[in-house]
Amino acid sequence: MNILVTGASGFIASHIVTDLIAAGHAVTCCVRDVAFTQKLFSTTRVIRCDFIHDQSINHWKERLQQIDLVINCVGILYHPNNKIIWSIHYKTPKALFDACVQVGVKKIIQISALGVETSDVVYAQSKKAADDYLQTLPIPSIILRPSLVYGRGSYGGSSLFRGLCGLPWITPVPGHGTQAFQPIHVEDLSKAIIKLMELPSEQNLLLHAVSAKQINLNNILTHMRSWLGFAKSRLCFVPVTLIRLASFIGDLIPYSVLNTNSYKLLVQNSITSSEETQTLQNKIGFTPQAFPEGMYRHPSSIQDRWHARLYFLKPILKFSIAFIWLFTAISCLFFYPKAASYGLLAQIGVNAFWQPILFYGASILDAVIGLAVLFSNQLKKITLLQILIILGYSALLTWKLPNLWFEPFAPLAKNIPLLVAICISLALESDR
């Protein structure tokens, strides 16, 4: 069977693609980063698509030639611009679904999420809108709504839970930790999709992709911390109102690990009825494993422990770097004596005419870089710019004022760990 998988390099989709290849299917990966995905799946056909902009049927018709089945796995839990979320989850999938009808694709499988019927976050509303539209079309479709998805690697909610488990001494728990989930292992989810593909075509099949057993958040975090190999910690129950306040602040910060979406995930149940649970099992022919069994299915690795420990340190490192640039600008402009700054410029050979120009220009540049570190998505360019600036003025000061290396507060020597921190921040920020 010829199958097109959107978002093929993502957490869920990459497992699906791997299983499809193993089952002997011809897979077309539809992604933003063609070069990266081609390295992941060298035996597949990889084509570029952009779920932010590919909102016309004509964008998809050629891509769908000779395709029997489409599996739409594209999803984004949070973006500061709600219009982008609607484009990714509804507008572009709508064009994709319409194109499938026109070119004669035999079936569509849509990966949605459990709870989209009742949630008021944009992620859920946009997903549900696409689900609803798909069910109106004259094409066999299967909509899968998983609960928390976990496994080797992580994303979204499972990454957040790992981060909570990676904190030293205590494990913060939102509320009382009684929130219930029916987590499904990503390998079981992928296996279920393979099974559903083999079913005779059915119109508008909607299934809740969940494990048979419910588990509360306290037990999820306890098992996950044990799986990671960390010492037992005390569960620290955090009032929901405090988390809600923090999420409102997080909404103002691009790509914050705590925002309204993650807040909703933390405080609400993610379960379904026993009838829906049984319906899934009847359709796929097996019972997805319970969370403890699935969690211990594979041993944790050093990379898993790094990820857990660094999850909350990553944004702290980013803010720290931005703080250095912004504080330097503010200090120079408003607190540090300008005469002293001009005197330093004079020592390196800058004449009086250029001193204020260079002073204000450098201060504004520092502020711009600090803001760019916080808000720009051009991570590599911003990192390179920071490195060039630091190396440039460090070389100049070493030439003109080498004594700065040996002062008690080491103003130049501190640039070495700063450069390392900037490089580490780029490595952590990369979604690859």
- State which amino acid sits at residue 286: F
> Is residue 37, in this structure, part of any structural domain at all?
yes
Which has the closest alpha carbon to 162: 242, 226, 208, 79? 226
pTM equals 0.87
Percent of the chain with pLDDT over 90: 77
**63, pLDDT greater than 90:** yes
Rounded distance between C-alpha atoms, residue 317 and residue 313, angstroms? 6
> Is residue 156, in this structure, part of any structural domain at all?
no
> Is residue 52, in this structure, part of any structural domain at all?
yes
**252, pLDDT greater than 80:** no
Buried b (16+ CB within 10 A) or exposed e, 264-285: bbbeebbbbeeebbebbbeebe
- Name the domain boundary from 146, 178, 213: 146
Q: Provide the angle, in degrees to the nearest 10, between the axes of the packed helices 379-400 and 354-375.
A: 150
| CA 161-162-167 angle, 5° bins | 100
Q: What is the CATH number of the domain that holds 138?
A: 3.40.50.720
> Is residue 176, in this structure, part of any structural domain at all?
no
> Is residue 328, in this structure, part of any structural domain at all?
yes
- Name the domain boundary from 115, 146, 177: 146
What total of structural domains would you count in the chain?
A: 2
C-beta contacts of 367-373 below 8 A and 24+ residues apart: 367/325, 367/326, 367/329, 367/330, 369/325, 370/322, 370/323, 370/324, 370/325, 370/326, 370/329, 371/322, 371/326, 373/318, 373/321, 373/322, 373/325
Mind listing the pLDDT tens digit for each residue in 149-186?
999 887 777 888 999 999 999 999 988 999 999 999 99
What average pLDDT does the segment 123-144 reach?
A: 95
Q: The domain containing residue 365 runs over which residues?
A: 316-429
Which has the closest alpha carbon to 149: 114, 119, 101? 114
**Which pair of tokens denotes residue 2?**
């010829």
> Is residue 263, in this structure, part of any structural domain at all?
no
> Is residue 336, in this structure, part of any structural domain at all?
yes
> Is residue 272, in this structure, part of any structural domain at all?
no
Mind listing the pLDDT tens digit for each residue in 405-425?
998 888 899 999 999 999 999
Q: Do residues 257 and 250 lie in contact, with contact meaning Cβ atoms separated by under 8 Å?
A: yes
**Which pair of tokens denotes residue 64?**
């769908």
- Name the domain boundary from 88, 116, 146: 146
Rounded distance between C-alpha atoms, residue 333 and residue 339, angstroms? 12
How many other C-beta atoms lie within 10 A of the C-beta of residue 107? Answer: 22
